[in-house]
Structure 1
Amino acid sequence: MLAFLTILLAWGYGFNIPGILPRDYPEGHHIEIQVRELHSTETQLPFDYYYLNFCKPEGMNVAANENIAEILTGDQREKSPYFIEMNIEKICVKVCDKKNNKEQIANFKWMIDNNYYASWVLDGLPSGLRKFAKFERNEYKVSFYQDGFPIGYRLKGKYYVFNHANIFVKVYFDGENWRIVGFLVEPLSLNNDASMSCLSENFSRYINITKMKQEIILPPDEMIESMNYEGLPQELQKEIVYTYSTFFEKSDIKWASRWDMYTYGAGSKTDVHWLSIINSFALVLFLSSIIAHILCRTIRNDISNYNDSTELEIRETGWKQIRGEIFRRPAYANLFCMIIGSGVQLICTSFVGLGCAYIGFLSPSYREIFLIFTFIMYMLFGTVSGYVSARFYKMFELKRWKINILGTALLYPGVCIVVFIPINACVMSEESSAAVPFTAMFFWLFLWFGIFGSLVYLGGGYGNLKDTISNPCKVNKIPRPISFPVNLRMHFVYFLAGSLPFGCMFMELSYVMKSMWHHTLFYYLFGFSLLCYIVLIITSAEVSILMTYLLLCREDYRWWWISVEVAGSSGIYFFIYAFGYYYAELNFSRISSFVFYFGYMFLASATFSVITGTIGFLATFVFIRTIYSLIKSD
């Protein structure tokens, strides 16, 4: 097992992790530009950068070092032919001549129609968008700190390609060396058929405009009226000449703050985050006051009257009457244990992941590292999953604990695999770079069963050796009939209660969704996510306790699944929100994009439901054990 972990770590981290420490460049030092995928919000299908007929570096393999997360996400970095030297400006450097056949021209047209963006990387920073614009009758140099820039545009039925790139590198000089603190690309369409348009006098005048005042715009800003170079554009045709220019701009931004303008939610948008956090805490205080009223007054009075009274009519009422049934084994107890074990594992993984991201352990330069880190944490917490599942399984006095451990190891991963296979098949049919190769899939399955299964079995075996959980009340041999069973109306009330945990994450979820499905935006406000997650834990626990208490007052002891249902129903709201977000923001036209989006949203909703449902059950279980341990047993 240790050997498997070593292999995983070597593959995941065998390459350097840029972005952790600053890199100093002397003047004239070569700076490598890497290219990433071509992406579009309209299709959500990424493609390899060289899927289009762009210039490639000659005499070398274009593939850069990859880690396993890049292979899984399709976000693979490759080498480029652009040669940048620190603090040395270049004007109109020819990259190559490219000849396009009919198929390559058709690919360009399809991607321009679907608003595909190209993404470059310099020193770990993604390429922002620089362009000139008119804003309130003034001309400005406008910077959009987003991921990528368009590859072309369509005008009056004709297609034009951006074949020239003005590369702007923002640098900080410490007196000896230079550090890169910003990276912007201005794409231009220049007609290079007869001569190099970027060598013309008209282009030189255009370059001088770069000395104008700079305005930083947080996307999106619809008040900007776009402008372009006033020369002849390059129409999409069989032969295209690609060129570039490089410019360096000194900046007062320190290296540690260079991501501030890239991360989504910078500037005044943090006020909205704080407002959502305050609203969530207000909801927690409201629920806490209700729970405190129940615990401090109602239940305390019930327990006091029960323990002091000798009359059976007074003692045997409400939730106290079912003390001999309250710990009776639930229906489908084996499945229940599997879900709770998987939920505890997901809770631990998400909490540790968000905590490490908040303290800055994970660099935004390589967001794929977060995926590797999360997967490793998930596998290591397999011992916790097996232990918790085995403990409850033994408490229910069931005997086939090995079957339970096997089911715990396969339940959540099995659901993920079943959903992932059709998603990958659709993406693979589109020749998208997001398709996971079969070799990588087999490798992950090998790790899954070789490492994860062993850890779950190890935790389950240890849990089975532990003493059985002792509950404060014994279970009657004959089940008590239920006078007021839960009806459809009560289930609807439980479903409505599930909206409260979802409401705590609603505002932050909107930012996360925009970062996930709008590739030009970044999200790195993990501090807000961690606060929302803590609020989510408290809210899920309080809602489940409150609804379960109302159930017990109806003398219904079938609380096990109800405690999971109340908080877990928030995952349904998550999926409903995904539908609303699709119709409001996305509206794909391709079936593969539809399957891709809703497949992953289903997995996210199911994960959210398992996490909140498990939190609700664990809190309710502690609550019930506490109140029933306070009454005298006969």
Structure 2
Amino acid sequence: MSTRGFRVGTNPCSLRLALPGLRWLLGLGLFLGLHATRSAAFYLPGLAPVNFCEAARETATCKSSIALFVNRLDSESVLPYEYNIFDFCQDFGKKNPSENLGQVLFGERITSSPYEFSFSKTELCKKVCVKSYDRENEDHKKKLAFLKKGVQLNYQHHWESERNWDIARLVAARLDPQSYKHSDENHLTCNGPSMEIPGEHTDKLSVTYTYSVRFEENKSIKWASRWDYILESMPYTNIQWFSIMNSFVIALFLSGMVAMILLRALHRDIIRYNQANFSEEVQEDFGWKLIHGDVFRPPRNRMLLSAFLGQGTQVLIMMFITLFLACFGFLSPANRGALMTCAVVLWVLLGTPAGYVSARMYKTLKGVNWKTNFLLTALLCPGVVFVDLFFMNLILWVEGSLAAISFGTLIGILAMWFGISVPLTFLGAYFGSKKKFKCPVHTNQIPHHIPQQNFCTKPLFGVIIGGILPFGCIFIQLFFILNSIWSHQMYFMFGFLFLVFIILLITCSEATVLLCYFHLCAEDYHWWWRAFFTSSFTAVYLFIYAVHYFFAKLQIMGIASSILYFGYTMVMVLIFFLLTGTTGFFFLFLVYY
């Protein structure tokens, strides 16, 4: 079945507010989701085609109308607002499509708009509505002042098309925001001077909202390549390959170092120790060989370490599955909120491995209060995240932001946490407390004396060095992620992200093995917490980079926006802390085990 590709272009004659030092408000983003209700081929979720036809050929499976929905307005001020909170043209017969959990948590509440598009039908300077403001009316003054505030903070619209399903498909959308001063609303011409609003509102003001739309047939763009024009317009796309090569070189360097140690030093020594006659050689022991009977001595705060490892396991599995699905297209960017929904659902369902790992590690470290350990695993880190997000939500409520989560949604999140995640964590902890990892060597009754350490073998120095190499693998990719979150750019390179994620896990593991080996050679057997902090210190560098990004890249104004930025950043840092620390620890534990 052959189809024609069409390019739709719009020329909204929108409002331009000319204030000293300010730029125009409306940067419009139109994402045409392309989904099908039926098709002869198999398509991944979110990637099925949408077919349109002209009004005269409309059928039950081929619609001519392209419904346009309005999403939130956002800017670098971090506070998103609902479309209807601004005094724009509104659709009074609102149709709110269903929203998933991810959309609710991100404040992406979609509603219908007054804009009407018909496939292949050209519209020139079509009036939507007229907004009038009287300086004597207090309500009008407030609406206009809030609109000016949106100009100052550079708030941008987000539009989305309806997702329907034989004759033509939309392969591209280009929008050119324009502002025109219409002297006569009954005779509209979108080619006059720009609409301006003076800094001081001294007279009655009328703003006429109009839009123009035209369709162009394009047979050179395949439907499968419909996103290419967006990818080509995104900056820094070529840097992704540099990021991969940079990460790969770092991982290769660490792999060589670890291989040299394991294959040359450790392997030779282990073979010598396994020989029958080694009594004379034992007298010449030095370094790590002197403390082989102390390496499995339980550390301090073993319950807290076990809880961190359990939560880290939960985060690790969640992120791996989510990125794997996104890499293969199951979580398409066209399906808004799917990524967040998948992550939250997976986190809730992965309480069992978290409880199992935590309880079994706690049992291995000779802990006896496994029920207390279970409560700490189930409540500590999730509780910190919930309190942080609740505090951020209070600020959003006070500011009247769209991103504020409703009370009912908060109750739903608590129900998922205590009704699903906590019982699953208890189930895993129950079975994990029945087993423990069998230590390959016996622990000496008398601890070995730890000699005086030099500066390079002290814990702090090794931890600081240990986080540099893993961070070097991700800092370029981190730039794109922060742009996607705070600068509202589309993130689409999940294949690169998944590959960098794997390299990060390898780098964390190898850096931990390498540095802890050097510390053991200095006869310091306190490796448990050091192994966790060596790779988890990467989260500190993540926080430092986020601070740099805040001051160097963003133009956030207001205390509330700054608190929100660092509040959400702390959640990211905590999750990354658990992820990297658990990865490095368990790889080293497996090496010892």
Give the structure-1-normalised TM-score. Answer: 0.79
In the alignment, is the contact (CA less than 8 A) between 1:18 and 1:124 conserved in 2? no
Structure 2 counterparts to residues 507-518 of structure 1, below 5 A: 507-518=476-487
Change (3 A) 1:334 1:352: same
Alignment-derived partner of residue 188 in structure 2: 198
Instruction: Quote how far apart the aligned CAs of 1:271 are.
Output: 3.0
Give the structure-2-normalised TM-score. Answer: 0.85
- Aligned with 2:69 (options 34, 48, 63): 34
Structure 2 counterparts to residues 124-163 of structure 1, below 5 A: none
Change (3 A) 1:357 1:483: same
Alignment-derived partner of residue 11 in structure 1: none
Alignment-derived partner of residue 48 in structure 1: 82
- Alpha-carbon distance between aligned partners in 1 of 2:168 and 2:452, rounded to the nearest angstrom: 75
- Alpha-carbon distance between aligned partners in 2 of 1:457 and 1:266, rounded to the nearest angstrom: 49
Structure 2: runs of 5 or more not aligned: 1-36, 38-43, 56-63, 134-139, 199-203
1:23 and 2:50 correspond: yes
Alignment-derived partner of residue 69 in structure 1: 102
Alignment-derived partner of residue 444 in structure 2: 476
Instruction: Quote how far apart the aligned CAs of 1:255 are.
Output: 2.4
Instruction: Quote how far apart the aligned CAs of 1:197 are.
Output: 5.9
Deviation by residue 1:152-190 (Cα, 9 ceiling, x = unmatched): xxxxxxxxxxxxxxxxxxxxxx9x512122223322222
Alignment-derived partner of residue 94 in structure 1: 127
Instruction: Quote how far apart the aligned CAs of 1:492 are.
Output: 2.1
- Alpha-carbon distance between aligned partners in 2 of 1:71 and 1:601, rounded to the nearest angstrom: 20
- Alpha-carbon distance between aligned partners in 2 of 1:262 and 1:441, rounded to the nearest angstrom: 36
Is the deviation greater in 573-582 or in 177-186? 177-186
Over the aligned positions, Cα root-mean-square deviation in angstroms equals 2.3
In the alignment, is the contact (CA less than 8 A) between 1:500 and 1:539 conserved in 2? yes
- Aligned with 1:188 (options 172, 178, 188): 178
Is the deviation greater in 535-544 or in 603-612? 603-612
Alignment-derived partner of residue 231 in structure 1: 193
Change (3 A) 1:270 1:53: closer
Give the match's secondary structure for 1:578: helix
Alignment-derived partner of residue 393 in structure 2: 424
Change (3 A) 1:523 1:119: same
Give the count of matched residue pairs: 528
- Alpha-carbon distance between aligned partners in 1 of 2:353 and 2:529, rounded to the nearest angstrom: 21
Instruction: Quote how far apart the aligned CAs of 1:267 are.
Output: 7.5
Alignment-derived partner of residue 213 in structure 1: none
Alignment-derived partner of residue 370 in structure 1: 339
In the alignment, is the contact (CA less than 8 A) between 1:44 and 1:517 conserved in 2? yes
Structure 2 counterparts to residues 258-273 of structure 1, below 5 A: 258-263=226-231, 269-273=236-240
- Alpha-carbon distance between aligned partners in 2 of 1:266 and 1:534, rounded to the nearest angstrom: 28
Change (3 A) 1:113 1:370: same
In the alignment, is the contact (CA less than 8 A) between 1:39 and 1:118 conserved in 2? yes
- Alpha-carbon distance between aligned partners in 2 of 1:360 and 1:119, rounded to the nearest angstrom: 23
Instruction: Quote how far apart the aligned CAs of 1:196 are.
Output: 4.7
In the alignment, is the contact (CA less than 8 A) between 2:181 and 2:192 conserved in 1? no
Change (3 A) 1:600 1:337: same
Change (3 A) 1:232 1:549: closer
Deviation by residue 1:509-547 (Cα, 9 ceiling, x = unmatched): 11111111111x211100000110111011000000011
Identity %: 35
Does 1 or 2 have the higher relative contact order (CA < 8 Å, sep 6+)? 2
Change (3 A) 1:268 1:512: closer
Give the match's secondary structure for 1:95: strand
Give the match's secondary structure for 1:245: strand
What residue identity is the alignment partner of 1:22? P
In the alignment, is the contact (CA less than 8 A) between 1:18 and 1:365 conserved in 2? no
Change (3 A) 1:232 1:387: closer
Alignment-derived partner of residue 149 in structure 1: none
Is the deviation greater in 64-73 or in 110-119? 64-73
What residue identity is the alignment partner of 1:36? N
Alignment-derived partner of residue 112 in structure 2: 79
Alignment-derived partner of residue 298 in structure 1: 265
Change (3 A) 1:197 1:289: farther
What residue identity is the alignment partner of 1:300? H
Alignment-derived partner of residue 114 in structure 1: 153
Alignment-derived partner of residue 167 in structure 2: 177
Structure 2 counterparts to residues 265-344 of structure 1, below 5 A: 269-308=236-275, 309-311=278-280, 314-344=283-313
Alignment-derived partner of residue 581 in structure 2: 613
What residue identity is the alignment partner of 2:240? H
- Alpha-carbon distance between aligned partners in 2 of 1:476 and 1:463, rounded to the nearest angstrom: 26
Alignment-derived partner of residue 18 in structure 2: none
- Alpha-carbon distance between aligned partners in 2 of 1:486 and 1:405, rounded to the nearest angstrom: 39
What residue identity is the alignment partner of 2:443? V
What residue identity is the alignment partner of 1:75? E
- Alpha-carbon distance between aligned partners in 2 of 1:425 and 1:391, rounded to the nearest angstrom: 38
What residue identity is the alignment partner of 1:107? F
What residue identity is the alignment partner of 2:170? I
What residue identity is the alignment partner of 1:348? I
- Alpha-carbon distance between aligned partners in 2 of 1:189 and 1:295, rounded to the nearest angstrom: 68
- Aligned with 2:365 (options 396, 405, 409): 396
1:552 and 2:520 correspond: yes
Is the deviation greater in 178-187 or in 272-281? 178-187
In the alignment, is the contact (CA less than 8 A) between 2:45 and 2:329 conserved in 1? no
Give the match's secondary structure for 2:446: coil
In the alignment, is the contact (CA less than 8 A) between 1:105 and 1:238 conserved in 2? no
Deviation by residue 1:91-128 (Cα, 9 ceiling, x = unmatched): 22221222341110101111111111111112469xxx
Instruction: Quote how far apart the aligned CAs of 1:62 are.
Output: 4.9
In the alignment, is the contact (CA less than 8 A) between 1:325 and 1:479 conserved in 2? yes
Deviation by residue 1:471-508 (Cα, 9 ceiling, x = unmatched): 11111233333223586954123212211001101111
Bigger proportion of residues as strand: 1
- Alpha-carbon distance between aligned partners in 2 of 1:93 and 1:63, rounded to the nearest angstrom: 24
Give the match's secondary structure for 1:56: coil
- Alpha-carbon distance between aligned partners in 2 of 1:189 and 1:62, rounded to the nearest angstrom: 28
Instruction: Quote how far apart the aligned CAs of 1:368 are.
Output: 0.6
